[in-house]
Amino acid sequence: MKVICFKGKGDTWKTTLIKRILNEFFNIEIYMNKEHDFAISFIYKNTLIGICSYGDELPYVKTKIEKIISRGCKIIICACRTQGGLLKYITELDKNINWIKPNGSTGKFEDSEFQQFIEIFNNLMQD
């Protein structure tokens, strides 16, 4: 199992970037009401992918990620804050974790972060 994690402080557009990846890269549209975070698993090019955009509270995130792991996902895409128990938990999932740090200070995510994800993801798919 390989992990790509968007790591940043609150309001750095981690979930927005993950939604863009789902929509523009995987061609999956997520429809939701007031809730902004989600967990999903799906098959992409014969590989089971899991995504968890929750990145704040360890018990809740851990439950969602454990479900994704139990399904046998080969690549997990997730989000977490820059410190705390969730960061430690995510780090323990994959010792060679691929970190992407969105620059939320601009008020939006950057295309360079999207491109960084695509490069990392494509490399993981080849492993």
Angle between helices 85-93 and 58-70 (to 10 degrees): 20
For the record, the structure tokens of 42 come out as 């799906």
Q: Which domains does the chain have, with CATH numbers?
A: 2-126 (3.40.50)
Averaged pLDDT of the chain: 87
The pTM of this model reads 0.89
Structure confidence at residue 113 as a pLDDT band (50, 70, 90)? confident
pLDDT per position as a tens digit, 31-76: 876 567 889 999 999 999 999 988 777 888 899 999 999 999 999 9
| Beta-sheet strand order (sheet of 47-52) | 39-44, 47-52, 75-80, 2-7, 98-100
Q: Tell me which H or E stretch contains 47.
A: strand 47-52
Q: Dihedral sign, CA of 17, 78, 73, 120? A: positive
